[in-house]
Structure 1
Amino acid sequence: MEQFRTYFMFRGEDDQQIFSVRTFYDRSHQIDDKPQLLESVDDWNRRTLWPKVYTHTHDDGTVRLIGEAQMLIGMGVSLEHFVSSTVSWVRAAIEFDKWLVEQLGLEQEINEADKPEDDE
């Protein structure tokens, strides 16, 4: 099951209008893990066009990730380009989540969380 929420937004006015797809990843990380997260995010951002991912540290010290892709649409955009870009961005947001799990070795944590507890 995916652990993120994706929002589609139109911002700006006239020829400066932007269409943005922003993904908020629900998995929280500890502040001590931030250096490793930043290293992984930098690697992703260097290798891929989208989404560009950054960290957000909450007041309670938890760190979450946000991915974003944008397109300038104020001067016009074809429907085909708009749809294909949006689909690519959403797929890439899903792929990032899977990639991060592999990079940080989170598979074991996720699998253990999904296992039913034994009542022995």
Structure 2
Amino acid sequence: MRPEALPGWLARMLGNARPKPAAGPAPRERTTPLTRARVAAHLTRRGYRFLLDEDGDLTGTWDGSRFWFLLLGEHGEILQVRGRWHRSLPIAQRAAVLLAVNDWNRERIWPKVYLREEDGELALYSEVSVDLEHGVTDSQLAQLLACGLGTGVQVFAALDALLPAPPSSS
């Protein structure tokens, strides 16, 4: 895919320029505690649109699917980027969808993908979770957020191709 053909948010996430070789050793970044404010600041720097939901979690929509940026654990030390596919599927498709989900999880490290039954239908989720108990640098945080979003969008695009939406009745 040509860089100009990428969606704006994906081009920003991947960067439009090749990295320049370092002139010398890069200054060493210090780890600092994970906070919701740091996650929000990174998303803002990337030009992403997001909001704070009623539970106090950062959330936004990428390629039509909802993503949350959660801080879990006793001290909010676990970063989880969780996505929910924009479609729901009938319960009758559970066996076929489980095969696709199992294939994905077996062949890839990220994201973890799973099904949940919600309101009589199947919902598909992606998750990337990382324990950051000892802190995280800004570069590491950027990479983890890009991984959670990028791989989540990737699995949802694969599901869109594998399980096309039924024709709408108009």
Tell me the SS of whatever aligns to 1:57.
Answer: strand
CA contact under 8 A between 2:66 and 2:84: conserved in structure 1? yes
Once structures 1 and 2 are overlaid, which stretch shifts more, 42-51 or 27-36? 42-51
What is the CA-CA distance between 1:103 and the residue it aligns to? 2.0
Matches within 5 A, 1:21-32: 21-32=81-92
Structure with greater proportional helix content: 1
For these two proteins, the number of residue pairs brought into alignment is: 108
Scaled by the length of structure 2, the TM-score of the pair is 0.58
Listed as ranges, the gaps of 5+ residues in structure 1 are none
Distance 2:97 2:81 in 1: 21
Answer yes or no: is the 8 Å Cα contact 2:82–2:148 preserved in 1.
Answer: no
Q: Which amino acid aligns with 2:161?
A: E
Identity among equivalent positions (%) equals 27
The correspondence for 1:5, drawn from 66, 76, 82, is 66
Q: 1:87 and 2:146 equivalent?
A: yes
1:17-76 per-residue CA deviation (whole Å, 9 max, x = no partner) reads 201101011201001101001000001111111110110112x42111011110111112
* Deviation at residue 101 of structure 1 after TM alignment: 1.6
Residue 137 of structure 2 corresponds to 78
**Residues 54, 67 of structure 1: 8 Å contact kept:** yes
Conserved? CA contact 1:3–1:27, under 8 Å? no
Q: Which residue of 1 aligns with 2:120?
A: 61
SS where residue 109 of structure 2 aligns?
coil
Residue identity in the other structure for 1:75: H
Task: Give the CA RMSD over aligned residues.
Answer: 2.0
Deviation of 1:88 after TM superposition, in Å, equals 1.8
Structure 2 CA distance, aligned partners of 1:76 and 1:98? Answer: 32
Structure 1 runs (4+) greater than 6 angstroms displaced: none
Whole-Å Cα distance in 2 between the matches of residues 103 and 61 of structure 1? 22
Query: Retained in 2: the 8 A contact 1:17–1:74?
Result: yes
Which SS does the other structure have where 2:88 is aligned? coil
Contact kept, 8 Å, 1:13 with 1:74, in 2: the verdict is: no
Which has the higher relative contact order, 1 or 2, with Cα contacts under 8 A spaced 6 or more apart?
1
Higher-Rg structure is 2
